[in-house]
Amino acid sequence: PIAPGKEMQYVFKAENYGSSWYHSHYELQPYMGVIGGVIIDGPASKSYDEDLGIVVLQDWSKIDVNSMYNDAQNATINPATGTFFGGPRSMDMGLMNGKNEYINPDNTTSGERLTFDNIVPGKSYRLRLVNAAIQSTLRFSLDSHVVEVIAMDFVPIKPYMAETVNINIGQRYDVIIHANQTAGSYWMRADNQQSCANMFQGRNVKAKFNYVGAIGEPTSTP
């Protein structure tokens, strides 16, 4: 570990190019926020107009993940169900670049959504997706839009169109969003795949994608 007040410089040759991320390797620090995006510049397998950068997707809990560790590792069999007491925990919510709105028990909200503003009709936008979750498989989509996948894990690929992109832990996908729909405000989603691991607000992992002049909350559907 890097001691408090100290620093360390890592030097490496960038033999690959594309989108990735860094994270701490000390205990469970990555899942408490010690993460970030890394872009190594290089050619793309499809041209686009603007790069919107890295979007880090992750699951999140108001309970410190270190305190969940022992329970998750519990290999004792529950005699009532025949299953292990341990395994995946139930996380509270998910984040996009560290942001999201949490729905409180009294139906108020706290936090804020990641927002992309001033999207110009007719332009194309590159988005670099990273799944930095501790246990969640996330399904990315943008309401009413089909995305074009151009790279995966530093590997440029033959572009293909997709309504959704499933992203497992540690994976990176580069996609192009073509702003070819009616100008307005749309939800960008990273739905948790509940059959893999539970998330209490697994359908509330959202960001706003606003065309120029769009105002108000999106009303789009998946």
pLDDT in tens, the chain (222 residues): 789 999 999 899 999 999 999 999 888 999 999 999 999 999 999 999 999 999 999 999 999 999 999 999 999 998 999 988 999 999 999 999 999 999 999 999 999 999 999 999 999 999 999 999 999 999 999 999 999 999 999 999 999 999 999 999 999 999 999 999 999 999 999 999 999 899 999 999 999 999 999 988 999 999
Question: Under a CB-based contact definition with an 8 Å cutoff, are residues 222 and 143 in contact?
Answer: yes
Q: What is the pLDDT of residue 216?
A: 86
Of 170, 141, 174, nearest to 157 by C-alpha is: 174
Taking the C-alpha atoms of residue 60 and residue 143, their distance in angstroms, rounded to an integer, is 23
Ramachandran bin of 8, using left for φ above 0, alpha for ψ from -120 to 50, beta for the remaining angles: beta
- The residue type of 49 is D
Provide the pLDDT for residue 93: 97
Q: What is the pTM of this model?
A: 0.93
Cα 217 from Cα 186, distance rounded (Å): 8
Q: What integer pLDDT is reported at residue 178 of this predicted model?
A: 98
Cα 47 to the center of its chain, rounded Å? 23
Residue 110: HSE in the Cβ half-sphere, 13 Å Cα cutoff: 5
